[in-house]
Structure 1
Amino acid sequence: MENSDFSIDVIIPVFNGQKFIIDAIRSVENQVYKPNKIIIVDDGSTDQSYEIVQNYIYNKNNCIHLIKKNGGPNSARNLGLEHVKANYVAFLDADDIWEEDKLSKQIEIFKNEKSNKLGVVYTDFAFHDLNLNLLNIETTKLKYVRGNIRKYLYFGNFVLGSASSVLIKTDVFKVSGKFLEKLHCSEDWEMWFRISKYFNFNCCKEKLVKIRISEASNSKNEEKFIQGLFYMINEFLKEKQNKTAKKAIIYNLLVNFYSLIRNSKNKIKTIKNFFSKFDKNLLIFIFLNLNILFKYITKCFLRVLKIGKFNERKY
């Protein structure tokens, strides 16, 4: 067990993860900086995940295994948080893997921090296929944001590696609240945005998380993506007197519409799904801010003419 002032518990939510869950647990066990507890929360799996984990952790005193009715990864994370006793908590999705020095490098940043405002330390990551072959997929172009990052989070989730990359002070959740369970996409973006109102962020530039992706990944589920996007846009609408929030609403509508259409196999269905989320308040906001809309459209058009493509992360 490590220094109690910098003790860490790890939460692993799992749903039908029988193929990869043991890899995830082992990557936590192999950490140079050992966590106090590994809390595995089975979110109502219908495969053999629960039995596989039970057999693996038999006689392991540092593991807690919980099972609940299916409610999504956020509900599993929140149940795990109820069992956290350490001063810091990390999350690992059941199909992701940590490098062995991930926690040690993150906790070192916390140890060296003089301000009590630091609440989250994240790391860089790399995409892999299901067989852990490295994929040549570009991640965000605005890397390694630090300090008060709220101004960046209006324009997208710039906390690299999603939930699998973060190490968070446990007390942060007492101030910011827990994960929003009704969201099944962009839930990490929403959580970091909420935390950023009260706490600072820092990062480790090394790629310390291996994230597996497939065609079935949540990030590729169009309906869930649109639901999460418009939840965030409606949150920004609550701050519509804020100039940054105004720009962010228009920016997120344009950029994500472009991205969805570009990647869609059924463009007509995508267009209908996207515009079905526009309510009266959003339409009025757009009408009152047509100058921002035209400004962004002009910028995008000129950029396409200049470099032949639209850079989605330039705002």
Structure 2
Amino acid sequence: MEANLVSIITPSFNSEKFISDTIQSVQNQTCQNWEMIIVDDGSTDNTVSIIEEFLHDNRIQLHRLDKNSGTGVARNTAISIAKGRYIAFLDSDDLWKPDKLQKQVEFMVSKNQPFTFSYYECIDEEGKALGKIIQAPKILTYRQLFWSNWVGNLTGIYDVNFFGKIAISSARKRQDWMMWLTILKKIKTAEPIPESLAIYRVRENSISASKTELLKHNYKVYRDYHQKSAITAAACMIGFLFTHFFH
């Protein structure tokens, strides 16, 4: 494990329209001590050939799965290869602002924090700003995270020296929320950097763009991760709805 190296975990699947900008946003970081591990999950478009154009940068790795297995499997594959002290996540259609890594690593070191995240903003598929910044509580507790996923996947970073490598759920959706819950169970509270350091792309087929899909996958988190009964999970969803839509 290399001291203060950041391992960036990036699953990709049919992202030919976005992957180039995503990689460039990593290359543009003011913090240059990183490795980017891209695991392609069986793309059938030009995603792989576009990624291969960046492999002259020896900090970027490409690994290909034999078949489409879901983002959980792709992320776990990347995590198993990672050599860094810090694990960060960036999906193949999202973007980081140039000072994202520097600010978060400096924050974690100066405050001796093993996990942090930040605010982020949203764009549409064409890159148009939606005028929306997603914020989080200044001190995030496990209880707050239980009711709503306040941590944007593209902003979270954790310290492997403290947690070890955390296995991602094999569920097709909401693996990130379950990972943050695992982290908060251990450290009880987490503090975000209270500014937008990343840009989330809201795509037409994403669960963030569909309230029905969001509810379905969040219900599964209460059922499968928290091991709640069907009735209790349904009651939890009422609390989720109140927190998510009326906060």
Settle same-fold status: TM greater than 0.5.
yes
Matched with 2:180 is 192
Matched with 2:121 is 126
Q: Give the gaps of 5 or more residues in structure 2.
A: none
Which of 219, 239, 248 is the equivalent residue of 2:208?
Answer: 219
Does the 8 A contact of 2:148 with 2:244 survive in 1? no
Which amino acid is the alignment partner of residue 18 of structure 2?
F
Which amino acid is the alignment partner of residue 312 of structure 1?
F
Which amino acid is the alignment partner of residue 53 of structure 2?
N
- Using the TM superposition, give the Cα deviation of residue 224 of structure 1 relative to its aligned residue in structure 2, in angstroms: 4.5
Deviations 1:57-102 (A, max 9, x none): 2x32111110002112121111000111110011111111100000
TM-score by length of 2: 0.87
SS state at 1:210 partner: strand
Matched with 2:22 is 24
Matched with 2:64 is 67
- Using the TM superposition, give the Cα deviation of residue 193 of structure 1 relative to its aligned residue in structure 2, in angstroms: 0.9
Matched with 1:269 is none
Which amino acid is the alignment partner of residue 245 of structure 2?
E
Which of 115, 136, 141 is the equivalent residue of 2:131?
Answer: 136
Which amino acid is the alignment partner of residue 150 of structure 1?
Y
SS state at 2:245 partner: coil
> Does 184-193 or 101-110 show the bigger shift?
184-193
- Within 5 Å, give how 1:42-57 maps onto structure 2: 42-57=40-55
Matched with 2:74 is 76
Matched with 1:252 is 237
Q: Residues 207, 311 of structure 1: CA spacing in aligned structure 2 closer, same or farther, 3 A cutoff?
A: closer
* Alpha-carbon distance in structure 2 between the residues aligned to 1:111 and 1:90: 15
Matched with 1:89 is 87
Q: Residues 250, 145 of structure 1: CA spacing in aligned structure 2 closer, same or farther, 3 A cutoff?
A: farther
Deviations 1:205-250 (A, max 9, x none): 11111111122223235665344222222244559xxxxxx7x963
Q: Residues 138, 193 of structure 1: CA spacing in aligned structure 2 closer, same or farther, 3 A cutoff?
A: same
SS state at 1:179 partner: coil
Deviations 1:144-192 (A, max 9, x none): 3436x20111111112xx21111111245537x411012x332221111
SS state at 2:82 partner: coil
Does the 8 A contact of 1:187 with 1:228 survive in 2? no
Does the 8 A contact of 1:9 with 1:35 survive in 2? no
TM-score by length of 1: 0.69
Matched with 2:102 is 104
SS state at 1:95 partner: coil
* Alpha-carbon distance in structure 1 between the residues aligned to 2:105 and 2:39: 24
Q: Residues 210, 138 of structure 1: CA spacing in aligned structure 2 closer, same or farther, 3 A cutoff?
A: closer
* Alpha-carbon distance in structure 2 between the residues aligned to 1:138 and 1:99: 14
Does the 8 A contact of 2:117 with 2:192 survive in 1? yes
SS state at 2:106 partner: helix
**Greater relative contact order (CA < 8 Å, ≥ 6 in sequence):** 2
Does the 8 A contact of 1:236 with 1:249 survive in 2? no
* Alpha-carbon distance in structure 2 between the residues aligned to 1:151 and 1:145: 14
Matched with 2:145 is 153
- Using the TM superposition, give the Cα deviation of residue 254 of structure 1 relative to its aligned residue in structure 2, in angstroms: 5.8
What's the RMSD between the two structures over aligned residues?
A: 2.6
* Alpha-carbon distance in structure 1 between the residues aligned to 2:116 and 2:138: 11
Which amino acid is the alignment partner of residue 133 of structure 1?
K
Give the structure with the higher percent strand. 2
* Alpha-carbon distance in structure 1 between the residues aligned to 2:103 and 2:182: 25
Report sequence identity in percent.
27
SS state at 1:9 partner: strand
1:312 aligned onto 2:245 = yes
* Alpha-carbon distance in structure 2 between the residues aligned to 1:223 and 1:65: 34
